[in-house]
Amino acid sequence: MLLENKKLVVTGVLTDDSIAWHTARLAQEEGAQIVVTGFGRGLRLTERSVQRLPQPCDVIELDINDPEHVDALTADLETRWGSVDGALHAIAFAPADALGGNFLDTPAESAQTAFTTSAFSYKTLAVALFPLMQKAGGGALVAMDFDNSQAWPAYDWMGVAKSALQSVTRYLARDLGEHNIRVNAVSAGPLGTVAAKSIPGFERFDDVWGERSPLVWDTTNPDPVARMVCVLLSDWAPMTTGEIVHVDGGFHAIAAGAGSD
């Protein structure tokens, strides 16, 4: 199996329509042991959703911006497994005034929150897991991304944070490669998850993908994205690091929809 005997941490699991949940499901089906993380008001949703996995697993509360939570995660994993082979970073947040067309009016504090939670947190997670991945002889980190090489309506400072996440990916790849730790990101097309639906104007993403994506993109199906995450967490991508892998139906490669005529 692709992930046999791997010990993986999957962050950002909320409901069973999320990329993180589907990654956890596929990872278990491919032989991995997993723990997932949740946080705050969504923690009960996470605890309920893991009961629908092939093998219900433990949930660790993690506020990635709280050093005590981060230290507790490391301590738990040290006691539980002694080492970690990989992790999915699926953590992002921007305050309401940093989204929805408020770009020019967003206060610095809200932009900083978006950056710290959505981009800097990848470094935070990597540093927390680093000693445990060293004990495993290396491993893989994967972050969930949304391509922001172009400006999008309504996405605003979350778009800026996602661009920063791509840069964080490259710098982590630079610094962790000598320890046999690969660091990548998966840039997914729009999916109708709880998190995505909270973005004002999300339906516009759906419309433009239907016009431009050469492969038919299904916003209700996270499975193709989860599959790529599992490949990058596995030993089948041993020389791939610092990459932003697009799983978006080919949208990013097409300048305009070809149409049917």
Tens digit of each residue's pLDDT (9 = 90 or more) over 99-109: 999 999 999 99
Any domain includes 199: yes
Q: How far apart are CA 68 and CA 127, in angstroms?
A: 14
User: What pLDDT, on the 0 to 100 scale, is given for residue 41?
Assistant: 87
Any domain includes 218: yes
pLDDT in tens, 216-239: 999 889 999 999 999 999 999 999
User: What pLDDT, on the 0 to 100 scale, is given for residue 44?
Assistant: 95
Number of domains in the chain: 1
The CATH number of whichever domain residue 209 belongs to comes to: 3.40.50.720
Any domain includes 209: yes
Strand partners of residue 196: none
What range defines the domain where residue 112 resides? Answer: 7-244
pLDDT in tens, 5-41: 999 999 999 999 999 999 999 999 999 999 999 998 8
**End-to-end distance of the chain based on CA atoms, in angstroms?**
44
pTM recorded for the entire structure: 0.94
Any domain includes 249: no
Any domain includes 189: yes
Strand partners of residue 188: 247
Whether residue 261 has pLDDT greater than 60: no
| Structure confidence at residue 210 as a pLDDT band (50, 70, 90) | confident
What is 145-164 written as a DSSP string?
E---SS--TTTHHHHHHHHH
pLDDT in tens, 52-64: 999 999 999 999 9
Any domain includes 84: yes
Any domain includes 64: yes
